[in-house]
A and B are shown apart, each in its own frame.
Chain A
Amino acid sequence: MTEQTILYQGAEAKIIKSTYLGNKVVQKQRVHKRYRINEIDDFLIQSRTKEEAKVMGLSRTIGVNVPIIYDVDLAKGCITFEYLVGERIKDIFDKITDEERKHLCERIGMQIGLMHNAEIVHGDLTTSNMILVEDKVYFIDFGLSEINAEIEARGVDLHLLMEAMESTHSTHASFFSSVIDGYQKTYEGDVSLVQKKIDDIIRRGRYR
Chain B
Amino acid sequence: MITLGIEGTAHSIGIGIVENQNNYCNVLSNVIKTYRPETGGIHPREAANHHAEHIANLIKQSLTEAELKLSDIDLVSFSQGPGLGPCLRTAATAARALSLRLKKPIIGVNHCVAHLEIGRGTIKECTDPVLLYTSGANTQVIAFAEGKYRVFGETLDIGIGNCLDKFGRSIDLPFPSGPIIEKNAENGSNYLPLPYSVKGMDIAFSGLLTRAQQYIKEGKSINDICYSLQETTFAALTEITERAMAHTEKEQVLLGGGVAANQRLRTMVKMMAEDRNAQFFVPRKDLCVDNGAMIAWLGYVMVNSGITMNIDETSINQRFRTDMVEVSWR
Is A22 interfacial (CB 8 A cutoff)?
no
Per DSSP, chain B at the interface is mixed
Mask for B220-254, Cβ within 8 A of A = 1, else 0?
Answer: 00000000000110010011001101110000000
In the bound complex, what is the Cα–Cα distance between A11 and B318 (angstroms)?
34
| A35 pairs with B200, CB closer than 8 A | no
In the bound complex, what is the Cα–Cα distance between A125 and B201 (angstroms)?
10
Q: Which residues of B contact A201 (CB under 8 A)?
A: 156
Q: Which residues of B contact A58 (CB under 8 A)?
A: none
| B156 pairs with A167, CB closer than 8 A | no
Tell me, rounded to whole Å, the shortest Cβ–Cβ distance linking B25 to chain A: 26
Q: Which residues of A contact B268 (CB under 8 A)?
A: 35-36
The listed residue (A44, A166, A208) touching B319 by CB distance below 8 A is: A208
Mask for B71-84, Cβ within 8 A of A = 1, else 0?
Answer: 00000000001100
From known contacts A11-B246, A123-B199, A144-B199, infer whether A36 and B155 are also in contact, taking CB-CB under 8 Å. no
Task: List B315-330 residues whose CB lies under 8 Å from chain A.
Answer: 318-321
| A11 pairs with B191, CB closer than 8 A | no
Tell me, rounded to whole Å, the shortest Cβ–Cβ distance linking B277 to chain A: 10
Count how many chain B residues have C-beta atoms less than 8 Å from C-beta atoms of the other chain.
42
Q: Which residues of B contact A164 (CB under 8 A)?
A: 200
Task: List A42-65 residues whose CB lies under 8 Å from chain B.
Answer: 43-44
Is B154 interfacial (CB 8 A cutoff)?
yes
Interface size class on chain A is 20 to 34
Q: Which residues of A contact B81 (CB under 8 A)?
A: 207
| A207 pairs with B321, CB closer than 8 A | yes
The listed residue (A33, A40, A126) touching B232 by CB distance below 8 A is: A40
- Among the stretches B55-63, B113-121, B144-152, B169-177, the one at the interface with A is B144-152
Show the binding face of B for A, using Cβ within 8 Å: 81-82, 137-138, 145-146, 148, 150-152, 154-157, 159, 191, 193, 196, 198-200, 202, 231-232, 235, 238-239, 242-243, 245-247, 267-269, 271-272, 275, 318-321
Show the binding face of A for B, using Cβ within 8 Å: 10-12, 33-37, 39-40, 43-44, 123-126, 128, 144, 156, 160, 163-164, 166-168, 170-171, 201, 204-208
